[in-house]
A and B are shown apart, each in its own frame.
Chain A
Amino acid sequence: MKSIKLDATIENLTEVLLFIDKQLMSENVGIRTKMAIDVAVEELYVNIARYAYAPNVGEAEIIVDVQDNPKACEITFIDSGIPYDPLKKEDPDVNLPAEERQIGGLGIFMVKKSMDDMRYEYKDNKNILTIRKVL
């Protein structure tokens, strides 16, 4: 299990993605799976960077756990910002025409669609959000 702790800023997104990619490098992850994981990490991390501590800056911790049997990876996001459960967010209507489409909620929807599991808990004043993807 590897983890990284950093200021939750948009500028640090690249560093977060590099950290994730490094953990998965030796796992022979297909391009499709890798992109799904990157998108999920970006959406969840950017949510923390934008909203968890706004207008201040706070810390985010990201833990990557690569498992065997079955081969999977679990990525956990921890922040001490305002309590927020993204699983409660209503899915957007993806059948609406362009003029009526609202982009809000699309990121979380993409995460839900592409990950095999997603769980949230609020514990010790911390948001703890874990996604799981079978590799």
Chain B
Amino acid sequence: MLNINKTKEADKMTVALEGRLDTTTAPELEASLKEDLDGVAQLVIDIEKLEYISSAGLRVLLAAQKTMNKQGSMVVAHPNEVISEIFEVTGFCDILTIE
């Protein structure tokens, strides 16, 4: 289960995620981002309520980062301790801007 809550203000979009970002839910986020990233210069992915992430989820974050590198900036906000550890082990803490 993954809830995706998008809010847009001018060229800034915040995407709040809640639940699990895994093999079954990652395609939902990928499609949802693809739909709305046009014209976005600031993307904030708020994962305060995200409980779980697997490599399928990391893959979507990496793709979003690559897109945003071309058109603006991206921040991944409020990861919990366990997810922070996963970002560290996988080197994603150096690729993503984590706040």
Contact = CB atoms under 8 A, between A and B. Distances in A.
Interface of A: 10-11, 13-14, 31-32, 35, 38-39, 42-43, 46, 94-99, 101, 103, 106-107, 109-110, 113-114
B59 A103 contact: yes
B5 interface: no
Interface of B: 22-24, 52-56, 58-59, 62, 65-66, 69, 81-82, 85-86, 89-91, 94-95
A101 B95 contact: yes
A97 B95 contact: yes
15 contacts: A10-B23, A14-B24, A31-B82, A32-B85, A38-B54, A39-B55, A94-B90, A94-B91, A97-B94, A98-B66, A103-B58, A106-B58, A106-B59, A107-B56, A110-B90
B62 A101 contact: yes
Contact of A46 (B53, B56, B95): B56
Contacts of B54: 38-39, 42-43, 107, 110
Contact of B86 (A42, A98, A110): A110
B39 to A, nearest CB: 21
A99 B69 contact: yes
B98 to A, nearest CB: 13
B66 A99 contact: yes
